[in-house]
Amino acid sequence: MQVQWWGVIPFAIMLATIAVAPLVPATRELWERQRVQLQVSLLLGLPVAIWFLAASEGQAVVHALVEYGQFIMLLLALFVVSGGIFLAGDIRATPRVNTAFLAVGSVLASFIGTTGAAMLLIRPLLNTNAERVHRVHTVVFTIFIVANTGGLLTPLGDPPLFLGMLRGVPFTWTFNLFPEWLFVNLVLLATYYGLDHRLWRSEPKEARQRDTTRVEPLRVHGAIHFLYLAMIVLSVAFAPSVDVQAIEEGHATWYQWIPWREIIMLSVSMASFFTGPRTARFRDNRFTWGPIQEVAAIFIGIFLTMIPALRYLAQVAPELPLNRLTFFYFTGGLSAVLDNAPTYLTFFEMAQQLGGEPSVAEVWEPFLVSISLGAVFFGAVTYIGNGPNFMVKAVADSAGVTMPSFGGYVVLAFRYLVPVLVAMSLIFISGVGWAQIAGWVLTGLLLLRALRSLVMKPRQETRVEDAS
């Protein structure tokens, strides 16, 4: 089935609604209701589903719904389990402490997943910074680092890499991306430290005094939930789910019809919800279902309207000028707005058709490197690029942090994240001497910007939120 350009319109409207509705005074309050978000998603998504069903393309709809179910079940499980863990105490929210939080998150993300790491750390970060006025930048960099760029080293880290493993990429292959992972995360951490240092010095005197006097040793409440978290990670790594391809081809066994992975995650979620200290979940973490309801309502529309958008992309792909850099930027640019998992899969399958040696899972390895880097790193450029992004935003909103709008967040991403990714691509992907030199020069300028933040005279009115 051929999809014309106008097939992308529902997806474009979905993106525009997410971006504009929270900004317009007449629709802001209405859009914050999960019921309205679900209605908009279904209004745009159901006609697409009916269109493909009527065109005998029902398998595309089934694939989208199965992937949506797997996506939401993983986010739900990690959301519920992490909601039972509370890091009690209140240490000083200094730039060194906040940067250490993000550095730990960048490592955890590769081994318990970006969603798990983000949900585990966002509440302690918010609690630690509760006395501070300037908190938005910390949540934004949590999305950059913990919810995205940190998850590059294993297939457990980010959904695109997990899809690659299912299609033959060895589990340990992603360890080869360590230099790119280290470069991006170190530069982002340096940038954050400089920014947070400047904003820390511009905090009102009363806020800094509160933060200094309200100090308690850290201790963990609800430690049993770490066991549940490990069970979820193991289920993602080893438990099978519904094998849609085998079902479509007509040779699926009864075993392949059962979503074992999701059953395990749902069971673990229920066990987590009903065990452990209730005070940690409901009093300390102020646990509510709102954030996961918002993600579920919005992403059903994204997954459905994305069907013709991805089909149209696959049609025009042969006409695209594909090389190492363009694979990185095409995969990355579309991952920012199409959700990075299906975008990774589209370019992965496209690269398989091009051949080349040495290959990994029938993909020329330099192309696979570019596709993997683009999908993981650029998922941080918008709220919808990767599943945890919206969840971190929703948790922060519910904790009283007024997060940037969709467009405001993109502005911050282009200010702080995208230049780092450009420098990384010039150094590690371009393969051209002058481009590598340009990349190192750009890196130097970025580090000088961070250093300048350390020595700048503090200004009381400094606000990173102004960019939104």
Nearest to 129 by CA among 397, 401, 404: 401
Provide the pLDDT confidence category of residue 461 given band limits of 50, 70 and 90: very low
Give CA–CA dist 223/221, Å, rounded. 6
Give CA–CA dist 410/37, Å, rounded. 21
DSSP letter, residue 360: E
- Residue 468's pLDDT is 41
Residues contacting 213, CB < 8 A, separation 6+: none
Structure tokens at 50: 């009916």
What's the mean pLDDT in 42-67? 92
Query: How high does pLDDT run on average in the chain?
Result: 87
pLDDT digits (tens, 9 = 90+) for 249-301: 778 788 888 899 999 999 999 999 999 888 888 888 778 898 889 889 988 99
Does residue 284 contact residue 86 with C-beta atoms inside 8 Å? Answer: yes
> What whole-number percentage of the chain has pLDDT above 70?
96
Does residue 152 contact residue 177 with C-beta atoms inside 8 Å? Answer: yes
- What type of residue is 233? V
Judging by beta carbons within 10 Å of its beta carbon (0-12, 13-18, 19+), is residue 263 exposed, middle or buried?
middle
Evaluate if residue 406 carries a pLDDT over 80: yes
Does residue 412 contact residue 143 with C-beta atoms inside 8 Å? Answer: no
Q: Is the alpha carbon torsion for 294, 295, 296, 299 positive or negative?
A: positive
Give CA–CA dist 185/151, Å, rounded. 10
Structure tokens at 15: 């993106």
Q: Which has more confidence, 364 or 203?
A: 364
Q: Which has more confidence, 420 or 28?
A: 420
CB-side neighbour CA atoms (13 Å) of 68: 20
Evaluate if residue 459 carries a pLDDT over 70: no
Collapsed DSSP state (helix, strand, coil) of residue 362 = coil
Collapsed DSSP state (helix, strand, coil) of residue 272 = helix
Residue at token pair 């065109």: 55
Evaluate if residue 104 carries a pLDDT over 80: yes
Does residue 134 contact residue 203 with C-beta atoms inside 8 Å? Answer: yes
Evaluate if residue 64 carries a pLDDT over 50: yes
- What type of residue is 467? A
Q: Of the segments 7-21, 233-247, 358-372, which one has the largest average pLDDT value?
A: 358-372
Does residue 239 contact residue 260 with C-beta atoms inside 8 Å? Answer: yes
Q: Which has more confidence, 101 or 456?
A: 101
Does residue 84 contact residue 272 with C-beta atoms inside 8 Å? Answer: yes
Give CA–CA dist 192/196, Å, rounded. 6
What's the mean pLDDT in 331-358? 83
What's the mean pLDDT in 142-155? 94
For residue 135, how many other CB atoms are within 10 A of its CB? 25
What's the mean pLDDT in 162-176? 85
Provide the pLDDT confidence category of residue 467 given band limits of 50, 70 and 90: very low
Evaluate if residue 247 carries a pLDDT over 70: yes
Provide the pLDDT confidence category of residue 399 given band limits of 50, 70 and 90: confident
Judging by beta carbons within 10 Å of its beta carbon (0-12, 13-18, 19+), is residue 264 exposed, middle or buried?
buried
H helices of 83-134, in order, are 95-128
Provide the pLDDT confidence category of residue 316 given band limits of 50, 70 and 90: confident
Give CA–CA dist 265/229, Å, rounded. 10
Does residue 328 contact residue 429 with C-beta atoms inside 8 Å? Answer: yes
- Residue 99's pLDDT is 96
In the chain, what is the straight-line distance between the N-terminal and C-terminal CA atoms, in Å? 41
Give CA–CA dist 37/382, Å, rounded. 18
Nearest to 127 by CA among 83, 81, 80, 90: 90
Evaluate if residue 460 carries a pLDDT over 50: no
DSSP letter, residue 281: I
- Residue 90's pLDDT is 67
Evaluate if residue 241 carries a pLDDT over 90: no
Domains of the chain, residue spans: 5-467
